[in-house]
């Protein structure tokens, strides 16, 4: 039986665990530092199993020993920015949390593949790889799947067509400098430029870049978790079932797109060993410039993290 550990039993972690179990992908260990939280959510999810017709086991725990032998480690643990908290404070706090999680999980599952969800996502993915010293093919960030799903959703809303026929890809960092590839977005092969005016496409790009903030504003307390959780499960399925899915993920290029030494969202083929390869497509000069601008911003945040943390 495949085993997935989800670290962090908040909304994103618990929802990811739910989707993973309901898609019958793996048994799930849900771990959190809060006593009772992962245990209660895991039990609740187990009690839903007869209704959802699966026999996957879900275990809630506060002990990393229970994560032993995991095939995949999903890291959602961290905090959201609070009033009065600077971005530096958030970066330092989450970096400390993620570094500890990486150290503890690696002790018990040194062969696992990591999927990183904690924000700032690209920087945290870099930190997990540096902490575990795993081959970068086994440490992958989630956000491109989520950002692309949001873009596809908005295309569906504007065109009225089924999202099942919509394909779109968002590259770059998970933030304001993400790079939606509008010229490659299609509805059953038809470019969206033939279906929508440029002004409407520009609006959708802006909405995609601010997709998370829009939900935070609406909720007033908390942030998105259904789509992030589904995006995690999508990646878990691609890996465990060796599906060779071409998905935008935060990966570490080795010269592709003229980039090195920075985790950033690129077209990635996922399978049982994690990242199988980065697919290099021809970008326009404008797209390439935007992608490199995003990479520069991520590198600056990595440098800042290294200053804030001791011996990263």
Beta bridge partners of 141: 116, 250
**Does residue 306 lie within any of the structural domains?**
no
133 with 154, same domain: the answer is no
138 with 148, same domain: the answer is no
151 with 290, same domain: the answer is yes
Query: How many domains are there within the chain?
Result: 2
CATH code: domain of residue 40? 3.40.50.720
120 with 34, same domain: the answer is yes
207 with 133, same domain: the answer is no
**Does residue 310 lie within any of the structural domains?**
no
Separation of alpha carbons 61 and 27, rounded Å: 14
Q: Which of 119, 142, 165 is a domain's end point?
A: 142
**Does residue 164 lie within any of the structural domains?**
yes
81 with 203, same domain: the answer is no
**Does residue 283 lie within any of the structural domains?**
yes
**Does residue 307 lie within any of the structural domains?**
no
69 with 89, same domain: the answer is yes
Query: Cis peptide leading into 300, omega within 30 of 0?
Result: no
54 has catalytic annotation: no
Q: Give 110-159 pLDDT, tens digit per residue.
A: 999 999 999 999 999 999 999 999 999 999 999 999 999 999 999 999 99
For the chain, report the end-to-end CA distance as a whole number of angstroms: 35
Task: Determine how β-strand 245-251 pairs with β-strand 264-271.
Answer: antiparallel
Residue 312 banded pLDDT, cuts 50, 70, 90: very low
Q: Which of 142, 158, 182 is a domain's end point?
A: 142
Q: Which of 125, 142, 159 is a domain's end point?
A: 142
pTM of structure: 0.96
Q: Give 38-91 pLDDT, tens digit per residue.
A: 999 999 999 999 999 999 999 999 999 999 999 999 999 998 776 677 778 889
pLDDT for the residue 80:
79
> Among candidates 102, 10, 115, 119, which has minimal Cα distance to 71?
115
DSSP letter at 260?
B
37 with 97, same domain: the answer is yes
Tokens of 224: 């998105």
CB 229 within 8 A of CB 12: yes
116 with 162, same domain: the answer is no
31 with 176, same domain: the answer is no
Q: What is the DSSP string of 124-185?
A: HHHHHHHHH---GGGEEE-HHHHHHHHHHHHHHHHH---GGGEE--EEB-SSTT-EE-GGG-
150 with 138, same domain: the answer is no
Beta bridge partners of 175: none
CATH code: domain of residue 255? 3.90.110.10
pLDDT for the residue 81:
73
Q: Give 256-306 pLDDT, tens digit per residue.
A: 999 999 999 999 999 999 999 999 999 999 999 999 999 999 999 999 999
> Given 126, 174, 234, 292, which residue is catalytic?
174
Per the structure, the complete domain to which residue 120 belongs is given by 3-142
> Among candidates 41, 49, 59, 42, which has minimal Cα distance to 23?
49
Separation of alpha carbons 126 and 251, rounded Å: 9
DSSP strand E in the chain: where?
3-7, 27-31, 58-61, 72-75, 113-116, 139-141, 166-167, 170-171, 179-180, 186-187, 190-191, 245-251, 264-271, 274-278
Q: Give 169-215 pLDDT, tens digit per residue.
A: 999 999 889 999 999 999 999 999 999 999 999 999 999 999 999 99
**Does residue 269 lie within any of the structural domains?**
yes
**Does residue 15 lie within any of the structural domains?**
yes
158 with 54, same domain: the answer is no
**Does residue 309 lie within any of the structural domains?**
no
């Amino acid at each position: 039986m495949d085993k997935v550990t989800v670290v962090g039993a908040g909304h994103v972690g618990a929802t990811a665990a739910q989707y993973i179990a309901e898609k019958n992908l793996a048994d799930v260990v849900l771990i959190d530092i809060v006593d009772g939280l992962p245990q209660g959510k895991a039990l609740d999810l187990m009690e839903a199993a007869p209704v959802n017709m699966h026999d996957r086991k879900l275990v809630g725990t506060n002990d990393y020993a229970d994560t032993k032998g995991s095939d995949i480690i999903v890291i959602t643990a961290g905090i959201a920015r609070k009033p009065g908290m600077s971005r530096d404070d958030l970066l330092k706090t989450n970096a400390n949390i993620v570094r500890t999680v990486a150290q503890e999980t690696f002790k018990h599952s040194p062969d696992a593949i990591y999927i990183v969800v904690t924000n700032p996502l690209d920087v945290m993915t870099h930190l997990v790889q540096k902490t575990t010293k795993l081959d970068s093919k086994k440490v992958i960030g989630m956000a491109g799947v989520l950002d692309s799903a949001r873009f596809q959703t908005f295309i569906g809303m504007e065109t009225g067509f089924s999202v099942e026929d919509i394909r779109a890809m968002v590259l770059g960092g998970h933030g304001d400098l993400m790079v939606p590839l509008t010229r490659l977005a299609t509805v059953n092969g038809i470019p969206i430029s033939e279906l929508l005016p440029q002004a409407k496409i520009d609006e959708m790009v802006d909405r995609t870049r601010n997709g998370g903030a829009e939900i935070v504003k609406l909720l007033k307390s908390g942030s998105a978790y259904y789509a992030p959780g589904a995006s995690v499960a999508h990646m878990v399925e691609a890996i465990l079932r060796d599906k060779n899915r071409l998905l935008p993920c935060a990966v570490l290029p080795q010269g592709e797109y003229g980039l090195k030494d920075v985790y950033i969202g690129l077209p990635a083929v996922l399978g049982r060993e994690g990242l199988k390869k980065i697919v290099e497509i021809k970008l326009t000069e404008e797209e390439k410039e935007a992608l490199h601008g995003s990479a520069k911003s991520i590198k600056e945040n990595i440098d800042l993290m290294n200053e804030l943390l001791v011996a990263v």
